[in-house]
Amino acid sequence: MAGKLYLIPTIISDETQHVVIPQQVKDVLPEIKHFLAEDLRTARRFLSSLKVYPTIE
């Protein structure tokens, strides 16, 4: 069973996300079903700010 590991960069400031996060990353995010994150709250907030992924509970 082959899989893919995507390493998604995080941003330091909300104002820089459009410059720092490439469109290719935004395009692949909706296809990802499982995430590993160091901090759930920060990851949830980050994904929500990109507006490309449904709400994460």
Domain spans in the chain, listed from the N-terminal domain onward: 1-57
Q: How many CB atoms lie within 10 A of CB 28?
A: 14
Tell me what pLDDT residue 56 has.
Answer: 65
pLDDT digits (tens, 9 = 90+) for 4-31: 888 887 777 777 777 778 888 888 888 8
State the pLDDT confidence band at 1, using cuts at 50, 70 and 90: low
Question: What mean pLDDT do residues 23-48 have?
Answer: 85
Rounded distance, CA 5 to CA 7, Å? 7
pTM reported for the whole predicted model: 0.63
Tell me what pLDDT residue 3 has.
Answer: 86
Q: What is the DSSP string of 1-57?
A: -----------SSGGGHHHHS-HHHHHHGGG------S-HHHHHHHHHHHT-S----
